[in-house]
Chain A
Amino acid sequence: MSRDGHVGGAVRVSGLVKRFGPRAVLDRVDLEVPRGQVIGLLGLNGSGKSTLIKCLLGLLKADEGSATVLGTDAWQLADREKARIGYVPQEATLYPWLTVRQTVAYVSSFYSRWDRAWGEELLRRWDLPLGHRVGPLSVGQKQKLALVLALGHRPELLILDEPVASLDPVARRWFLETVLETAADGAGTVLFSTHITSDLERVASHVALLREGKVMFHDEIDVLKDRVKRLRIEAQADLPADLCLPGTLRQESRGRQALVTIDGVDAALVAGVRERFAAEVVVDNLNLEEIFLELHDGEAAATSRAR
């Protein structure tokens, strides 16, 4: 349940298709984000993350399927729903002729529930020069300002499109803490896309992996980590070039040794490998970045092999 009593998921996407010309940038995407969840969108450049976010914000119209945000069709978001959403784009496009102080005053005038004290606290925290015009600010400062503008009205749903790429490490830490604060009371939902997987691991409970417009994986990060692991195999004799293990994402074999990344590792599979190849098997846990790379490299290799 939200602060004002609304029930239901924060974001619900079903069979979403978005085409630019003949190319489907989003291809039957399904995604559900309950309220209070912090979810990261992970994907390569061009995988459709920004397009998905723009569809959720009603900036782009889906060709097929549906997207609802805070219980309302994303294309028909009304002022009530928008007042509960905060958004930071990839490149903060603000008002270059205004000062920082004027920008905050201007944007806050749109929101009846703007938390002035919270806004000032954020400005102070990020050390933004109030009297300076926005145009000549650095990219990082503009991004910080965009975050202030997105957070000042204490949104129920915060959508962030690669927001931290231009921030310095200190600002990134502040940012992540702020995101956690937003989600801390369980009512705030955060959906953000990023390439920095360590940040995602730090704040997100869930992750959705996008690849070529499709959701490859969507679940808790811990589930993903449990599923995808790397086996280090050392056999008595030379190993075959293809071990033919189920769920293999990537395999490197050299003589009696092999490294195999597998989606869906369990005890039976490990025991089977030991028995079949008379080998010692060590199971390595992977962090999110490694899993991300393995998933993409593995898919690419599989596609290449199939060709």
Chain B
Amino acid sequence: MIAILRQYALVLWAIVSRPWTLLMLGLGLLYVGPFLGAWLGGRAVPDGAMTAVPVVETPSVLGSFGAAELEEMARGGRLDSVTDLDTQAVGRQEAWGLVAPNGRGRSGSQLTRAADEGPGAWPLLDRFPSLDRLWMSPPDMLSEQGWERIGKHTALEVLSLPNVSSPDAETLSRFPMLARAALERLPNLRELDLRGTGGSFELLLPPLPKIEVLAIGWGRLEENLRTLADGSPRLRVLAIQTWFDIGFTPGMIASLRRMPNLRAVYVAGAYQAEDEPAMTRQVDELRRALPGVRVHPGTYRSSRVWTSFWATLLGMYLPFVFWFQSGLLLSTSLAWMLPRRLAPHLFWAMAAAAACGGIIVALLVSAGVAWMPALTLTLFATMLVAGGTLGEVEGIAGRISSIVLRVELIAGLAAAATALLAPWIIDRWLSGAMPWLSVTLLAAVIAASVWKLARQARLPRILASLGLANPPGLVIDVNQGTLPKQPAGSFANWQLKLAERAVDRQIDRPVPAPYGEMLRRSQPRIQMLLMVAIMLVVMVGMMWVIPVVIARGTGQPPPPLSRYLPGVIAAFAWQACVMTIAQTAGMWGQRRGSLVIDFLRPVSRAGYWRGLRQAIARDLSLPAVLGAVCLALAVGLDGKGGWWAWGVAAILLVGTFALTHAMILLLAVTRWPLVVGTLMVVLLVAAGIGIVIALSHVLSVSKPADLVMALVAAGAVLAVGLGIRMGVLWRLEEREIG
């Protein structure tokens, strides 16, 4: 018994005593912060915790793209042809300055008042006679003159005014009359959002013959539903703002049943977490009453979605360290020879997964996530990297593993994309409102986990049969030099052949060539380009497909592509930048051994170091371009920062890539690759935090830009980057090799 306990203790010590393990566990703390923030945020702010599900279509242009477009049209004197106006997105003063007479230098709220009409009059609207879509949101207000001006835009098809208030008590009291008068003059309205507008309790809707999507408050609901049933045959989607203690009357139900094209109803009965059960009851009641119509909650808890997102990342990360070490230890020949080797190795990885998973489940449940989704997410996350043999193992087992890996990857990406585009759908599953989906997903995750555990248990035997030193996929082999022969016709084999041909072409290039160029010729880059291309196709494809799927599922129109495409490209550029940096680092890390031999080629000491520096710099050009695209889109999307935002972005780019170049150079020649590699990850994460801090202070939507803070953060990134680069390059030629 003592011997067994001793063996368990020794295995634990072997796992945790490595500097890499400690560094990675330390790095994991970076994940804990956002998770706890999201979790505590969800618990500490019960009021306003629920967010309304958007139902009307959203503006097709965002941020600076809208402002820039507006500016251009104002300069060209073409404002009379503007059809879409989002008052919130086009908040830039320059834009208003051009649009409004004498408006330069004045705030947006100042520009919404006319000299003799007071706030909320929106004289600016007169300059847009062709508007057919208008979005306003708090802190916008509408006075009597404002409502009148809206009523003059008779071509309006989309009008979204959620929570737009009235400037004074008198206007508030007259709101039902003013709004009705305006709406009566808008016969073409297809989509209308009046949830919380001007205290809209008593608004009696006029006939809206072309309305398709409508969001309204609870006031006069019975009459309004009757009006809609009588005169709005095209109504597809209806969102109703209710209260937790209100039920639907038979009259309301009868009217809803008389709407021939009604596909979806959103019932918003909860504005804070504690009212959710009441909303669920209302939804259930209406669902029973309206068979054939999709009835969903009209509000959701975004904090629950983000808590779950960070919890999943946290759950992936910490057990990963143990699964990784367990896999590596199990794959050593010593482990193969040891009696009872399997149990202690699996035990500690499973113990880490269970401990981490237990904490995460408890936190998720306390954040309002139902038991089954909480278990599903936790199991998915903690077991994601278990079974280090997933992929690249031949035979049926290998195929099953490969399928498991791909399904998990696609499911994870789909869930992340859905959380981004339609978080209310994810929240519905998290709240436990989709029991069948919950059961199916939990069963699938359990099956995948059992399979992975079984593969992990067979790891030493699998490795021995394949003649491998490391589990495939566990240690990244960028050049795939240690992979066994791949089956003909497989994707892996095709990749290998592609890389082989690329190397042939490189080697066949004319000689002599600069030493740095010669160094690069032995390694293919095609796999890096392939990875970027696949990422691009997958991301853009999902962004194209998922909105359509969401639209079919909810009855809402898909958001226009132009709205999120720049964001998607920025996200892709960011991901691709990180991945290509990792690939470049892995590629040069793997050359450590052969670089010693390469030093003995006909090249001087100075030529060797110069060539190595240049070769790495050349390889970093792709991630640098991707990083530049990402930063340019981040700055361009917001567009409020002006030239200093571009300056800060440039400083960040230079600092980050100075750091990256130096660390990869060090990685290529160091005797401690694991420590240097981990240090590189830590430094790049720190630089990433610096980038976020710097950009958030020049691109902040909610507060004025803080140039000093942004420059301090960017300067820190630059100083660290250049400092480390100087340290690495200092007396580089004096450095011993090998």
Mark A residues whose CB is within 8 Å of B. 54, 57-61, 75-80, 82-83, 85, 87, 89, 93-99, 102, 105-107, 109-112, 133-136
Q: With contacts A59-B736, A79-B604 known, is A135 near B507, CB below 8 A?
A: no
- Please pick, from B521, B597, B603, the residue contacting A109 in the complex, using a CB distance under 8 A: B521
Q: Which A residues lie within 8 Å of B512 (CB)?
A: 112
Contact A99–B736 (Cβ < 8 Å)? no
Contact B511–A61 (Cβ < 8 Å)? no
Q: What are the interface flags for B605-622 relative to A under an 8 Å C-beta threshold, 1 for contact and 0 otherwise?
A: 101000000000000000
Instruction: How many A-B residue pairs have C-beta atoms within 8 angstroms? Tell me.
Output: 90
Separation of A96 and B479 alpha carbons in the complex (Å): 8
Q: With contacts A79-B602, A98-B503 known, is A59 near B738, CB below 8 A?
A: yes
> In the complex, which residue of chain B has the Cβ closest to the Cβ of A109?
B511
Q: Which B residues lie within 8 Å of A97 (CB)?
A: 479-481, 499, 523-524
Q: Which A residues lie within 8 Å of B737 (CB)?
A: 59-60
Q: Which A residues lie within 8 Å of B596 (CB)?
A: 59, 89, 93
Q: With contacts A59-B737, A106-B507, A109-B507 known, is A95 near B481, CB below 8 A?
A: yes
Other A-B pairs beyond A89-B596, A109-B507, 5, CB < 8 Å? A80-B602, A96-B481, A98-B503, A98-B522, A110-B518
Contact B479–A79 (Cβ < 8 Å)? no
Q: Which B residues lie within 8 Å of A78 (CB)?
A: 604
Separation of A97 and B591 alpha carbons in the complex (Å): 11
Q: Which B residues lie within 8 Å of A58 (CB)?
A: 599, 605
> In the complex, which residue of chain B has the Cβ closest to the Cβ of A113?
B602
Q: Decide if B249 is an interface residue (CB 8 Å cutoff).
A: no
Q: With contacts A60-B736, A133-B481, A135-B481 known, is A79 near B507, CB below 8 A?
A: no
Separation of A87 and B738 alpha carbons in the complex (Å): 14
Q: List 23 A-B contacts (CB under 8 A).
A: A59-B596, A59-B738, A60-B736, A76-B605, A77-B605, A79-B603, A82-B600, A82-B603, A95-B481, A96-B479, A97-B479, A97-B481, A97-B524, A99-B500, A102-B504, A105-B507, A106-B521, A109-B511, A110-B601, A112-B512, A135-B481, A135-B482, A136-B485
Q: Which B residues lie within 8 Å of A99 (CB)?
A: 500
Q: What are the interface flags for B470-490 relative to A under an 8 Å C-beta threshold, 1 for contact and 0 otherwise?
A: 000000000111111100000
Q: Which A residues lie within 8 Å of B702 (CB)?
A: none
Separation of A284 and B507 alpha carbons in the complex (Å): 58
Q: Decide if B467 is an interface residue (CB 8 Å cutoff).
A: yes
Q: Which B residues lie within 8 Å of A107 (CB)?
A: 601
Q: Which A residues lie within 8 Å of B601 (CB)?
A: 82, 107, 110-111
- Please pick, from A83, A93, A111, the residue contacting B597 in the complex, using a CB distance under 8 A: A93
Q: Which B residues lie within 8 Å of A135 (CB)?
A: 481-483
Contact A54–B602 (Cβ < 8 Å)? no
Contact B602–A82 (Cβ < 8 Å)? yes
Q: Which A residues lie within 8 Å of B467 (CB)?
A: 136
Contact B480–A89 (Cβ < 8 Å)? no
Q: Which A residues lie within 8 Å of B602 (CB)?
A: 79-80, 82-83, 110-112
- Please pick, from A80, A82, A102, the residue contacting B507 in the complex, using a CB distance under 8 A: A102
- Please pick, from B479, B599, B734, the residue contacting A61 in the complex, using a CB distance under 8 A: B734
Separation of A264 and B320 alpha carbons in the complex (Å): 66
Least Cβ–Cβ distance between B576 and chain A, in angstroms: 23
Separation of A60 and B479 alpha carbons in the complex (Å): 29
A-B pairs with lowest CB-CB distance, top 6: A96-B481, A97-B479, A93-B593, A97-B481, A135-B481, A79-B602
Q: Which A residues lie within 8 Å of B482 (CB)?
A: 96, 135-136
Q: Which B residues lie within 8 Å of A57 (CB)?
A: 600
Q: Which of B682-738 contact A (CB under 8 A)?
A: 734, 736-738
Q: Decide if B17 is an interface residue (CB 8 Å cutoff).
A: no
